[in-house]
A and B are shown apart, each in its own frame.
Chain A
Amino acid sequence: MTVTTLNTDTISPAAVTAIGERFREPTWLRQAREAAWETFTATPWPTYTEETWRRTRLTGFDLADFTLATEPVPAVSSRRQLPRKMSANLRKMDSGGALVFQDASLIYAELDPELAVRGVIFTDLRTALVEHEELVRTYLGAQVLAADNKFAALHYALWQNGTFLYVPRHVTVEKPFQVLIQLSPGKAAFHHSLIIAEENSELTIAEDYLGAARGMSDTVVELYPLAAARLHYLHLQNLDTTAWNFATMRSSVYRDALYRHLQASWGSRLSKVWIDLNLEEPGSHGELLGLYFPQGRQHIDHHTNQNHKRPRGTSDLLFKGALDDASRSVYQGIIRVWPHAQKTDAYQKNDNLLLSEQARADSIPGLEIQADDVRCTHGATSAKVQDEYVFYLMARGLSRKTAKRMIVSGFFEEVLNRVPVPGVRHKLEAEIARRVGLE
């Protein structure tokens, strides 16, 4: 591990070179960085004339406002040495392994030794690059490309570290892995997650993003559930409400494999999140669940893509959001069924609950079907809390506030009861309760 620091903290071509040098990266990676920077500069900033950016404006966003993490943060060897908030957060889940990042530094790691013996690799991307370069080279950037969008390009030019999880063939890991990513104020962070579930393996991983006050997080998550694997990914975005958040996440699902994604978008002033599900081979399954609950002037934008490329795939999407104050949400989702992807069964639903007159939820579902023997259903709803519900509960003795809280929690229940990890479910419930407001 190198301990030198980065000699520039600005988002610039110099930083691209400096990162490669600081970590003595292999040539292929340095070249990828340079190419990504080229792509970044060649790609215009999004404008609202593009369909995907029509409802989300980057007013007030300026890369010059952020700096890169330059100093390594020293690691600790036990949970007790972590800041209390972090160790308390880790305790909420019974996990098979945990990683804690402070910006680009891995500051704490643990892995059930039995899992290590069975060939599970759970470490930071830096370490993986040194110890398992071929694996990283095979999977890094193969799913989400720099050319995907301007933020993905910037990410590939400037990422410094991330999560690496590899579960070998036929290995089932019961307990979830957990990752905390704590970001410092004012920084630009580019965490990269690479998660590989080999043939017929099973894993669950929950990543929790925290902090980044007045900063930005530009994340890429690449997920590989290979044949007959079962991969559960839970993305908990708990960033500060002054953070800018961009994330591109993509999963390629292979023959008879299952991918389940949970997206909880709680924080950030503005979030632009792309979640793509590619059903690459016959008989693959995907489930996408989403929760959001913006308040104040938060703006949360999700794009989903259920891409059915081969026959007999199923996908099931449910995104639910409650919106308070003058917040806004955008949901754009498309189900694409390619020619020959017969016997596709795809479902997509977005429900919004408006808690204030000023809140606004836009929902744009879409279908693009090129096969004939398919079943595709989609729908979107947007409603206020019904007075009749509130009255019924109040007539039974509940205060107005408790009544509303119950109705909102009940609204999310349909997603919550599908969350596979009890520890995560409790975290989500607590977050919803906090937002609805204890009296």
Chain B
Amino acid sequence: MTAVLEVKDLHVSVGDNEILKGVSLTVRQGEVHALMGPNGSGKSTMAYAIAGHPHYQVTSGDILFNGQSILDLEPDERAKLGIFLAFQYPVAIPGVSFANFLRAAVSSVRGYKDRARAEVAQGGKREIGSELMPMREFRKELLAKMDRFNVDRSFAQRYLNDGFSGGEKKRGEVLQMAMLEPKIAILDESDSGLDIDALRVVADGINKLVADGMGALLITHYQRILNYVKPDKVSIFYKGRVVLTGGPELAHVLEEKGYGWVEKELAVEPA
């Protein structure tokens, strides 16, 4: 079955401030959906709302994953369904090693933990480490993926994003995504702040995962990454809404004419 993420007429507020004003869009497994929109238009807000950030209140509308609403699910439950958010600004967590954290995350998402729990519930013995993917397997896979996705092996021992450069953080997000193997990934400006080599690495990573069947919602400001990652669809986000969806050519039009065109052409009422 192809997984589908559908955002339906979503309204989201932070405090008393309504930021999303009826967003609708769809992302399918295996396809790339690019989302472009000006600063402050609410792209990250939508990404957070999909991932389940508690500070963003959904006031109406729905988010469906394979037809089921996920609004009541905790962020970790959404991750287990196969939704991944690559953060625009990944936080640094001092003292938490990248490898330890990722092993716990992979174990949770792949169900090691739930299986171990179920066994204990059926009277089985609680064994130390049974909630985690076996260390050797994990290491092997991590090293292989570090190589495949062009991430330096030293990442594993470093603290999560702590002291990482902007580019390293984005590579780290791609590596995590590769390990967690989501069905649908929301990539919030995974291309911003990257030099040309890093951009290729990140784009290449996304392409590999899409080829393996992942669906991607690619939030970006620039045509640049779309030279490497070919979108199936492009949507324009404006003042808390998706105002236009089209094919890849839309990105070029937008790049040429800018957002002023959106306002005039589409007669979007100013907020």
Contact = CB atoms under 8 A, between A and B. Distances in A.
Contact of A387 (B55, B87, B101, B108): B55
Interface string B73-95: 01110111000110100110111
Given A387-B54, A411-B95, A394 B74 contact: yes
Contacts of B52: 394-395
B180 A414 contact: no
Contacts of A411: 94-95
Interface of B: 51-55, 74-76, 78-80, 84-85, 87, 90-91, 93-96, 100-102, 104-106, 108-109, 159-160, 176, 180
Contacts, number: 84
Given A393-B101, A395-B84, A413-B95, 13 more contacts: A391-B51, A393-B105, A394-B74, A395-B51, A395-B52, A396-B79, A397-B109, A399-B74, A402-B104, A410-B94, A412-B95, A413-B94, A413-B159
Contact of A406 (B51, B74, B75, B96): B96
Contact of A396 (B54, B55, B74, B176): B176
A91 interface: no
B95 A410 contact: yes
Interface in A381-439: 386-389, 391-400, 402-403, 406-407, 409-414
Interface of A: 386-389, 391-400, 402-403, 406-407, 409-414
Contacts of B106: 397
A328 B160 CA distance: 30
Contacts of B104: 398, 402, 406
Nearest to B76: A394
A402 B52 CA distance: 17
Given A394-B75, A397-B80, A389 B180 contact: no
Contacts of A389: 91, 93
A403 B91 CA distance: 13
B220 to A, nearest CB: 20
Query: Which of A395, A397, A398 has its CB near the most chain B CB atoms (within 10 A)?
Result: A397
Contacts of B84: 395
A396 B96 contact: no
Contacts of B101: 393, 396, 398, 406
Query: Which of B53, B87, B104 has its CB near the most chain A CB atoms (within 10 A)?
Result: B104
A62 B22 CA distance: 67
A409 B109 contact: no
Nearest to A413: B95
A239 to B, nearest CB: 27
A398 B108 contact: yes
Contacts of A412: 95
Query: Which of A386, A392, A410 has its CB near the most chain B CB atoms (within 10 A)?
Result: A392
A395 B55 contact: no
Nearest to B78: A395
In the A-B complex, the 3 residue pairs with the smallest Cβ-Cβ separation, listed nearest first, are A410-B95, A413-B95, A410-B96
A399 B91 contact: no
Contact of B105 (A397, A400, A413): A397
A399 B76 contact: yes
Given A397-B108, A400-B76, A392 B93 contact: yes
Nearest to A392: B91
Contacts of A387: 54-55
Contact of B94 (A391, A395, A414): A414
A399 B108 contact: yes
A413 B97 CA distance: 10
A12 B156 CA distance: 60
Contacts of A406: 93, 96, 100-101, 104
Given A395-B85, A398-B104, A398-B108, A414 B79 contact: no
Contacts of A386: 91
A407 B79 contact: no
B90 A392 contact: yes
B95 A394 contact: no
Nearest to B161: A392
A395 B102 CA distance: 12
Contact of B180 (A388, A391, A397, A409): A397
B198 to A, nearest CB: 21
B146 to A, nearest CB: 17
A400 B96 CA distance: 15
B105 A398 contact: yes
B95 A393 contact: no
20 contacts: A387-B54, A393-B105, A394-B75, A394-B79, A395-B52, A396-B101, A397-B79, A397-B80, A397-B105, A397-B109, A398-B101, A399-B76, A399-B108, A400-B76, A402-B108, A406-B101, A407-B96, A410-B94, A412-B95, A413-B159
B94 to A, nearest CB: 6
Contacts of B76: 394-400, 403
Nearest to A388: B91
Nearest to B89: A388
Contacts of B105: 393, 396-398
A254 B176 CA distance: 51
A386 B54 CA distance: 13
A221 B183 CA distance: 60
Nearest to B176: A396
A409 B93 CA distance: 11
A409 B94 CA distance: 10
A394 B105 CA distance: 9
Contacts of B55: 387
A396 B180 contact: yes
Contact of A414 (B74, B95, B108): B95
A243 to B, nearest CB: 30
A392 B74 contact: no
Nearest to A407: B93
